[in-house]
Chains A and B, each alone.
Chain A
Amino acid sequence: MQHSLREDYLEAICFFMEKNGRFPRQEELAAALGRQADEVPAILADLINEGEVTMSPGGLVELTPHGKITGERIVKKHATLQCFLSEMLGMDQAAASSEACTLEHTVSDETIDRLGDYLKQPITNCPGRHRFGHPCVNTQFSLLDFNEGDELIVCGILGRSSAKRLLDLGVVPGQRVKIRRKLGSRSIVVEVKGCDVALSPEIAAAVSVERGP
């Protein structure tokens, strides 16, 4: 049997289980996979032979412990890839999902683990990573976390939609800024596009930044 087809089945069963809290019937599995109902029994028979699934007396397709491990690994691969494609590369959610469906069968476990770590870690030194905003939202570095003289790159402005003035003064994602002055009260002056801009602490806290290269 085709390797990818097997994984698709296991993934679909896992996914169904997660969503509905029970294992699927044969016809439900066929619907979830978008396949003809008459194709399913033959492939299920193969999977039962390999010890990945069992048929319960109630007609439900159940995963064996071994099948569960395989299935969950595929689900994780799919989610990680889709996240990377949509949030880091800016792909459309649906397109990212279908692309992930193809990639998940060939990508190695190590690649997925490393990709997962990469998505989780805070921004360090990678301009362009913030292009689509989202990963930066998870980072905890704001202007207030740095000191006088630090040269930084703006990742985004959190929350405050009213901070329009910041955008007008050039504090936009990708912009280089330099902290010119930071008082004990945490009011700061940043240099943006050759101009000094004074900010209250609560405004500065809303500007997420990373150290410039």
Chain B
Amino acid sequence: MKIALLGNPGAGKSLIFNQLTGLGVEVNRYPGSSITIESGSVCCQKEITELIDLPGIYSLDGNSEEEILVRQFLEAGKADIIVMVLDATRLERNLYLLTQVAEFPCRMIAVVNMIDAAERQGLTIDAEILSARLGIPVILTAASEGRGINRILPLAKESAQVSGLIIPYDIHIEAALKSLEKTLSTPRYRNLLALQGTGDDPTLTDAAAAIAQEIEQRHMMSVRQIIATNRHNFARQIASETIRQGDRKKTYDLDQILTRVIPGLPILCAILFLLLLSVFLIGSWMESWIVDLFNIYILNPFTALGLPPLEDKIGFSVLVALQAGFGIAFPFVFTFYIGLSLLEDTGYMTRAAFLADRAMHRLGLHGEAIIPMVIGFGCTVPAIMSLRILKTRREQTIAAFLITMVPCSARTVVIAGIVAAFVGIIWAFSIYLIIFVLLILTAIMLSRVTPGEQFGMIVEMSPLRQPKAGLVLAKSWLRIKEFLFIAMPLLIITSIALGLFQFFGLTTVFEKMVAPITVTLLGLPDYASTALVFGIFRKELAFETLAVLAGSANLGSVMTATQLYVFALVSVLFVPCISTIAVLYRQLGAKIALLISVYTVFLGIFIGAIINILIK
């Protein structure tokens, strides 16, 4: 049996899902989309039940990837029972989605969650009236306290029902629905979607489009607006019958300080700075541990085996790739994810988006784009994946360019390891400054040339909540798993390829070939080009390879300060790493992936050459 959880973002679905499934969660990429869906098995009443956590959505008839996915999921009847999770503190708005789901012919129950928060606000919700009005069983739960959670699955299995809710639409919409039903004998829910221009049956959508146009002319309002208004009014009706507002306790509204420019903006900057600083400090400390352990217990014993040279090279490459993957994934990316999940779960990220809206507009984006940008400081790969929250292709393209330029944690290692260590801390900050300026210039240029429509921010501010440690860890764990899943195979393959490249002595040929650029233009030693190429594979490898090729870990003694500075700058700007290119390709297509790669190569070399000439 399959049971799916469905609800608005932030209604507490994930928490319920986590509490019901515990460990043993599977993450699957939904066919044909970049969205991952979590599912897990639960034993309930001596039967294995598969529980699916659908992505949080506001509506069923929109065209975002998530909405389409959930709609197709419902239409195909992929779940036996739908558990609709509602936020008790925002019941009226949550009922809007329920009115849509209830039109689909699926068995369902409603879970009114966060009843504890509602009680604190003095709200009482009458589950019986709600159940009678909706025609489905309703239970009240408080997932954060574990209240009522155990009753969800038994209730769903025993008494889930098809709601049969009939929403009274405007008379013209009703007439249109009836005539479509009569002429094409299609079900009501599909006719409703068709009137709003959604559906894959051309006879139905064409017929509906003609009627819709007539209705729109008569009402001077889009059919979507009419239908949404009818549904909201219906939801309000039900909510007013079921909710009683008692005495409301006065609580201090933190948004008084968080969403004002002063002190909101300084707080935002401080939070982001602290996040990056702590990731960097904790990360470098953990990384040295992992790298050392790997060297002592795996790499050294492997070299001691004394395999034939080719096998040795391949085996060594695989192990180095693993070391590299874990050396960056856990210390930096995982730490960053924990911080990020904390920020998300407290509800702070939506405030950040609001405050950053104006600055982001200058870059041709809007407030919501700050979320991928911040993620980009941790790792570019998940940042690109999170681009789908931006609604237009134009915004996604601009943001993709900018994100690949944001110094991720691996690039921070390069800057710290080369510039901060051998040239000076001030110079390290100057690299950030240069990147920042280039980023703004790129954005200004792109916002002029990128075709497409600009679309503003519409974000629901999540209520400020205390994050749950378990949920934060679970979320970070899922994300790191996804990261390893994408990055690891690529790391291993490229590592082997580069190992073979070196083995057959092709590196010297390559170094000679690109010497005009590296030596003449950038003023670097010839072996630096190999190090830069290794940087494509994994950014901070550029730094490690350089040390190996230079034959000394004390880079200051082999290269001049200018050379080190130029090398760090070029490798930071230069081509995104191979995992980034792969995810760009998957998310935005080959053209954008290629454009970004070429652009960054030229930018890196160009800026490197200018600095080289200026300082020399």
Contact = CB atoms under 8 A, between A and B. Distances in A.
Interface of A: 87, 90, 92, 132-134, 137, 156-157, 161-170, 172-175, 180-181, 183-185, 187, 189, 192-203
Contacts of A174: 229, 233
B117 to A, nearest CB: 12
Contact of A164 (B224, B354, B454): B224
Nearest to A134: B220
Interface stretch (B87-95, B270-278, B301-309, B519-527): B87-95
A135 to B, nearest CB: 9
B259 A189 contact: yes
Contacts of B434: none
Contacts, number: 126
Q: Is the interface of A mostly helix, strand, loop or mixed?
A: mixed
Interface stretch (B173-181, B281-289, B456-464, B591-599): B456-464
B96 interface: yes
A196 B221 CA distance: 25
B455 interface: yes
Given A161-B224, A168-B62, A175-B232, A194 B89 contact: yes
Interface centre among B96, B255, B260, B357 (most CB of A within 10 A): B357
A92 B224 contact: no
B93 A194 contact: yes
Contact of A187 (B62, B225, B367, B455): B367
23 contacts: A132-B219, A134-B220, A163-B458, A164-B59, A164-B224, A168-B228, A170-B93, A170-B232, A172-B232, A180-B255, A181-B255, A181-B260, A187-B357, A187-B367, A189-B255, A192-B93, A193-B232, A194-B90, A198-B357, A198-B457, A198-B460, A200-B361, A202-B454
Given A162-B455, A194-B93, A185 B358 contact: yes
A165 B61 CA distance: 10
Nearest to B458: A165
Contacts of A161: 222, 224
Interface majority SS on B: helix, strand, loop or mixed? helix
Nearest to B359: A185
A200 B221 CA distance: 23
A198 B218 CA distance: 32
Contacts of A193: 90, 92-93, 232, 236
Interface in B437-466: 453-461
B118 to A, nearest CB: 10
A196 B89 contact: no
B261 interface: yes
B353 interface: yes
Contacts of B458: 163, 165-166, 169, 197-200, 203
A185 B93 contact: no
Contact of A195 (B63, B357, B460): B460
A87 B459 CA distance: 33
Given A197-B459, A200-B457, A202-B456, A168 B96 contact: yes
B394 interface: no
A203 B456 contact: yes
Contact of A137 (B220, B259, B453): B220
A172 B228 contact: yes
A156 to B, nearest CB: 7
B366 interface: yes
Contacts of B457: 187, 198-200, 203
A198 B342 CA distance: 21
A165 B367 contact: no
Ranked 10 nearest A-B pairs via Cβ? A200-B456, A185-B358, A167-B228, A168-B59, A196-B461, A133-B220, A168-B58, A203-B456, A198-B354, A172-B229
B350 interface: yes
A173 B361 CA distance: 28
A82 to B, nearest CB: 14
Given A133-B220, A189-B461, A203-B458, 19 more contacts: A162-B391, A163-B458, A164-B59, A167-B229, A168-B228, A170-B93, A170-B232, A172-B225, A173-B225, A174-B233, A185-B358, A193-B232, A195-B460, A198-B459, A199-B456, A199-B457, A199-B458, A200-B366, A200-B456
Q: Which size class do B's interface residues fall under? A: 35 or more
B461 A165 contact: no
Contacts of B391: 162
A88 to B, nearest CB: 11
A183 B93 contact: no
A113 B141 CA distance: 60
Nearest to B353: A198
Contacts of B353: 198
A158 to B, nearest CB: 11
A20 B173 CA distance: 39
A198 B350 contact: yes
A164 to B, nearest CB: 5
B390 to A, nearest CB: 12
A195 B93 CA distance: 8
A163 B456 CA distance: 9
A166 B93 CA distance: 12
A89 to B, nearest CB: 12
Nearest to B57: A168
Interface string B204-239: 000000000000001111101100110011001000
Contact of B354 (A156, A184, A187, A195): A187
Given A174-B229, A183-B261, A198-B461, A189 B456 contact: no
Interface in B102-129: none
A102 to B, nearest CB: 22
A197 B461 contact: yes
Nearest to B196: A164
B456 to A, nearest CB: 3
